[in-house]
Chain A
Amino acid sequence: MRFQTRQLALFCTLAAASIGIQLAPRPPNIESTSLITFFVGVVFGAITGGLFGTLVMFVNGFLSPMGAAGLNLPFQIVGMSIIGVAGGVFRRYGVTGPISRVAMEAAILGSFLTLTYDIITNIGFALISNVPLVLALIMGVVFSLIHIVSNTLLFGFVFAPLLKAFIAMGELRTVANK
């Protein structure tokens, strides 16, 4: 029971941090929600990670300083949920070996998941605006590139130290024992 409370508190803290950063004024497409969602997936597993992504994007969809997501909200939710689920999968198969290797793998996953998220949200935009998908992808490529590069760096430099800290704190027992 005590373990569950601790986990719940951690989940809520990460959710509050993620939503807080997401809603704060920031340059477009530079965000830490993907990293935190991915990390929640690693800590709590794929299902919780997916639900975390859903929660954060749902709140963001209504309160974002960039404007309400509108009809694109379901696509944002799906995109972010995939990132959370991927965190769970990475926990199962990936979080082993030297820290530099984990960092590099996290960076590659970060770039790939960001690309996947951008493609999904662009599909949403294309459907809503009745624009060909290829055109939507091409027109959004500059923003997408900023998103991918920033998330690659964030995942590469922040994920591994964050993981190390959580292992040291006693979380991620399963991972530490791997």
Chain B
Amino acid sequence: MQTSKRILVFAVLALTVWSVTATAYAGYYYMQHKQLEDTLKTMQSLILKVNILINYGNETKEWHNATLVPIGATVFNATLAVAKVDYTFWGEYVLINAINEAQGTQDTGWIWWIWDPSTSQWKSALEAANKHVLVDGDTIGWNYQNWASTSTPS
């Protein structure tokens, strides 16, 4: 066989292997991508995205945006997911003693608020943190404040 023809034959063989393998590999990754996309969709139907603000009352504010929590999670569950929380149960109601080492005192402590998008204002919580079930997109704020104060988290 002529040298040039021979080189051509082997080049074609090598390119055939490369193209078939690369195409199959691309297909493999495409299928993996589709599979993971489906899994993500399933997961997204089981989880919520909420935003959590922690205001330490000393100008320090901590935002935890798009925090993923399972469906049925309460404000308490969501807070546990983003911060170190010291708490006490009074019967079936939880009382937050400290968030990230910021301990409450006789006059000050942690109060949670929820953002009302219809009025664009914070609404004070009327129930214990473990009693309020979150919905997707909720924004909650923990405020370290005087018990008598009505200051909002932001």
Contact = CB atoms under 8 A, between A and B. Distances in A.
Given A105-B10, A141-B28, A112 B16 contact: yes
Given A93-B1, A105-B10, A108-B10, A134 B27 contact: yes
Contacts of B20: 115, 119
A162 interface: no
Interface residues of A, number: 19
Chain B: interface size category: 10 to 19
A145 B27 CA distance: 13
B81 to A, nearest CB: 36
Given A112-B17, A115-B17, A137 B10 contact: no
B8 interface: no
Given A139-B28, A141-B27, A109 B21 contact: no
A54 interface: no
Contact of A144 (B10, B14, B24): B24
Contacts of A120: none
Interface of A: 93-94, 104-105, 108-109, 111-112, 115, 119, 134, 137-139, 141-142, 144-145, 148
28 contacts: A93-B6, A94-B1, A94-B6, A105-B6, A108-B10, A109-B10, A111-B14, A111-B17, A112-B13, A115-B21, A119-B20, A134-B27, A137-B24, A138-B27, A138-B28, A139-B28, A141-B21, A141-B24, A141-B25, A141-B27, A141-B28, A142-B28, A144-B21, A144-B24, A145-B21, A145-B25, A148-B17, A148-B21
